[in-house]
Amino acid sequence: MDRTPTDARALARLSPRERATFFARLDADELESLKTLWPFWARPEQLAPPGDWVYWLPLAGRGWGKTRTGAETVRHWTREFSLVNLIGATADDVRDVMVEGESGVLAVCPRDERPRYVAHRRRLEWPNGARSLLFSAEEPERLRGKQHMKLWADELAAWRYPEAWDQAVFGLRLGAKPQAIITTTPRPTKLMRELLADPLTISTQHSTYENIGNLAESFLARVVRKYEGTRLGRQELHAHMLLDVPGALWTREMIEAAHVAKEEAPKLGRIVVALDPPATSGENADECGMIVAGLAADRQVFVLADLSRRGETPLGWATRAVAALRDFAGDCIVAEVNNGGEMIETLIRQVDAKVAFRAVRASRGKFTRAEPVAALYEQGRVRHCGTFARLEDQMCLMTPDFDRARAGFSPDRVDALVWAVSSLVFEQEAGAALFEFYRSMTADMSGRT
């Protein structure tokens, strides 16, 4: 009986001796070719499905192989189609993940098939003459007028400006069968819900555990075991579309109503960079929450950026905060000092001794502090300039009984948001009320004299 394996699963079922015999039959060229033969190594769900679809949406957990699936699909398409373009959440993501990443386009292609990466022109030039234009979803206007035969859109659920997808869809019109593969971890955004409901979409759901045999032990310890059993783990590991949490301060509908395009933000009178610094540093430490927001003349708050990050040294996040203040022409850095005391201001002033700094101290619980800010969202007084995926996920989990162990994270982004909005609105309104009291008091005094 012929025991020649037809794919990696069949190869795994062979005995060690049979596997050795199989590889011994291959010459050097065949062995090298086998390494990049994607239909042999791919799991069936990583291969493009049959059928008359326009959008292929494999919803998958972290480490499932989304990037490899997208890159291999691009590689396959370019053999037949001359214009196969790529769009990532940011320009860095396109370069570092989709093109140059360990599972990106350059890594999956054998030498004779590998495209030339022309970074300054934002394109890949394939040996057979095909091209791949590279776009960032942070620049929707660059997509205007561009056309695509095939398209790979990565982490669509985390795109800051969903209108980038609208522009991409307008351009998906060349060739006999325009199609897009969308590789993303699911979030219940309006765009994702619309795509899943579209009859032109074929979607499947996949867990991190489907690829666990190929994941590093450090990843299993650092990510899988940490988040398994948590709500965040259901989204990030099992690719579940999480709906609103009963009792949460924010709903997806509230946040979607707050979204505005970046060009809709008016001139802002006061801008702050708000920090919720971690008590420790390193990759296992909490994130440093960092939110930039400004106040318009009509008393509306516009959230301009979520710069939160994990794994930095204290001097690292202090340097970024000062840089953000300069980049956004801000007026003040606001930082919670419960866990750092005077050290927080000292770090900031090490970077810039003249920077305007104000310390705030939490005297109430996170939920209680966030309630008045959530009320501003209900009143339509806070706007998000684009989508801030991780911040908004945290917002929709803030309940009175929020438990960080059960949730799988500390809501540091929400804390920074609360400090930003509070410093812009409530302190300003308190100051205005004090001025009105002073003015009425002096008027009474002048009347008596």
Q: How confident is the model at residue 407 (pLDDT cuts 50, 70, 90)?
A: low
Candidate from 83-87, 268-272, 276-280, 401-405 with smallest mean pLDDT: 401-405
Residue 404: what pLDDT? 59
373 close to 418: Cβ distance less than 8 angstroms: yes
Q: How confident is the model at residue 205 (pLDDT cuts 50, 70, 90)?
A: confident
Give the Cα separation of 364 and 291 in Å (integer): 20
Give 79-107 pLDDT, tens digit per residue.
Answer: 999 999 999 999 999 999 999 999 999 99
Candidate from 270-279, 373-382, 429-438 with smallest mean pLDDT: 429-438
Q: Does residue 2 have a pLDDT over 60? A: no
Give percent of the chain with pLDDT exceeding 70: 90
Mean of per-residue pLDDT scores for the chain: 87
Give 134-188 pLDDT, tens digit per residue.
Answer: 999 999 999 999 999 999 999 998 899 989 999 999 999 999 999 999 999 888 8
Give the Cα separation of 388 and 158 in Å (integer): 7
Check the CA dihedral 174-177-182-186 and report its sign. Answer: positive
57 close to 196: Cβ distance less than 8 angstroms: yes
CB atoms within 10 A of CB 54: 15
Q: How confident is the model at residue 436 (pLDDT cuts 50, 70, 90)?
A: very low
Q: How many CA atoms lie within 13 A of 241 on its CB side?
A: 17
Mention every residue, 6+ apart, whose C-beta is less than 8 A from residue 424.
270, 272, 293, 294, 295, 301
Candidate from 277-286, 340-349, 399-408 with smallest mean pLDDT: 399-408
Q: Does residue 133 have a pLDDT over 80? A: yes
Residues in the chain: 449
Average pLDDT score over residue span 327-356: 89
Q: How confident is the model at residue 118 (pLDDT cuts 50, 70, 90)?
A: very high
Query: What residue ranges define each of the domains in the chain, with the CATH number in brackets?
Result: 36-236 (3.40.50.300), 252-433 (3.30.420.280)
C-alpha dihedral, 419 to 424 to 428 to 429, nearest 10°? -80
Q: How confident is the model at residue 403 (pLDDT cuts 50, 70, 90)?
A: low
Check the CA dihedral 360-361-364-365 and report its sign. Answer: positive
* Phi, psi (deg, nearest 5) at residue 277: -70, 150
Give the Cα separation of 60 and 226 in Å (integer): 18
Average pLDDT score over residue span 42-69: 92
- The more confidently predicted of residues 130 and 234 is 130
- The more confidently predicted of residues 200 and 438 is 200
Measured in whole angstroms, the distance separating CA 55 from the mean position of its chain's CA atoms is 21
Q: How confident is the model at residue 439 (pLDDT cuts 50, 70, 90)?
A: very low
Q: Does residue 38 have a pLDDT over 50? A: yes
Buried b vs exposed e over 6-23: b needs ≥16 C-beta within 10 Å?
A: eeeeebeeeeeeeeeebe
Residue 447: what pLDDT? 47
Q: Which residue has the tokens 């209680």?
A: 368
Phi/psi zone of residue 309: left (φ > 0), alpha (ψ -120 to 50 degrees), beta? beta
61 close to 238: Cβ distance less than 8 angstroms: yes
| Amino acid letter, residue 60 | A
